[in-house]
């Protein structure tokens, strides 16, 4: 009798969990999966009027388009240049602040301020400071300044969860100096590093607003032309097939980057 009651209670609990997940699953289906399938459909037809199946023609046209290749190159260059610098700086600052935050916990609030300041104010400041510089440096610095705060908060939170007993045991075994950080600290906070890196990569595809305000138009200099510009300009031209195909290719790029990071993290943890 007790087994039947516990079984009923367990089923009842599972049903409650499913009911709690239903709103989120419906939102995911309605606002993410269905729109993505719609975009995928538009990328496989000639145009939105006759809707003839075009196969991979739109993808081939996008890859052969010089502006898409330019935007793709600039976006990848932004990731390769800024993400390592962002993560390394965030780790170093987090290590330096770990002891300080034990005494002054409110210090971490200051690192979230870059995400709260209006973008127009940030862009105006950078325009005044970097008015004579004609390269991608201001855009890169805006990205670093905008995203380093949340990375520092996440990494600092991960560092503060490491017990001091672990370091003491490692010191008794002869570890010291940088070996402690490479053999103890980094492996323990690796999931947080991976999450921060992936979040920064995703945010690198959202730098369009800052870039648009900084360069003041739909056609920035070649070094500032990213995938967001390419898709935005195709949207303004009502070229939904180019927009859809470039969006799908970008999603494949993000998925590939995420898969590579998961493989690296899994291999490192072994």
Give the pLDDT confidence score for residue 102 in this predicted structure: 56
Residue pair 159/234 in contact (Cβ under 8 Å)? The answer is: no
Tens-digit pLDDT profile for the chain (270 aa)?
445 545 545 567 778 778 888 888 898 888 889 989 998 998 888 887 778 888 889 999 989 999 999 999 999 999 999 999 999 999 888 887 776 655 555 666 677 777 778 888 888 888 888 888 888 899 999 999 888 888 888 888 888 887 877 777 777 777 666 777 777 788 888 888 888 988 898 888 888 888 888 888 788 888 889 988 998 888 888 888 888 999 999 888 888 888 887 787 777 666
Give the pLDDT confidence score for residue 69 in this predicted structure: 92
Nearest to 112 by CA among 160, 156, 161, 82: 156
Give the pLDDT confidence score for residue 99 in this predicted structure: 64
Helix then strand then coil, % of the chain, to nearest 5: 80, 0, 15
Determine the Cα–Cα distance for residues 262 and 191; give it in Å rounded to an integer. 10
Give the pLDDT confidence score for residue 70 in this predicted structure: 93
Q: Which residue has the tokens 């790029």?
A: 253
Give the pLDDT confidence score for residue 105 in this predicted structure: 58
Give the pLDDT confidence score for residue 253 in this predicted structure: 86
Bridge partner residues of 72 (DSSP):
none
Bridge partner residues of 53 (DSSP):
45
Determine the Cα–Cα distance for residues 270 and 268; give it in Å rounded to an integer. 5
Bridge partner residues of 45 (DSSP):
53
φ, ψ at 136 (rounded to 5°): -80, 0
pTM over 0.85: no
């Amino acid at each position: 009798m007790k087994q039947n009651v516990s079984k009923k209670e367990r089923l009842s609990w599972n049903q409650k969990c499913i009911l709690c997940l239903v709103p989120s699953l419906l939102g995911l289906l309605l606002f993410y999966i269905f729109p993505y399938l719609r975009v995928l459909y538009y990328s496989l037809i000639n145009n939105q009027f006759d809707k003839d199946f075009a196969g991979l023609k739109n993808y081939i046209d996008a890859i052969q388009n010089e502006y898409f290749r330019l935007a793709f190159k600039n976006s990848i260059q932004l990731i390769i240049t800024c993400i390592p610098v962002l993560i390394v700086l965030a780790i170093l600052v987090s290590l330096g602040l770990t002891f300080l935050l034990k005494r002054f916990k409110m210090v971490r609030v200051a690192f979230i301020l870059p995400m709260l300041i209006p973008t127009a104010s940030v862009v105006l400041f950078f325009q005044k400071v970097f008015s004579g510089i004609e390269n991608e440096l201001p855009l890169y610095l805006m990205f670093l300044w905008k995203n380093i705060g949340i990375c520092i908060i996440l990494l600092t939170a991960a560092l503060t969860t490491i017990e001091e007993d672990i370091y003491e045991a490692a010191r008794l075994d002869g570890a010291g100096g940088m070996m402690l950080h490479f053999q103890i600290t980094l492996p323990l906070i690796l999931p947080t590093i991976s999450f921060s890196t992936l979040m920064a990569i995703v945010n690198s595809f959202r730098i369009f607003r800052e870039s648009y305000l900084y360069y003041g138009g739909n056609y920035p200099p070649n070094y500032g032309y990213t995938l967001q510009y390419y898709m935005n300009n195709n949207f303004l031209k009502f070229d939904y097939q180019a927009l859809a195909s470039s969006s799908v290719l970008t999603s494949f790029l993000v998925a590939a980057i995420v898969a590579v990071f998961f493989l690296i993290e899994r291999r490192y943890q072994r």
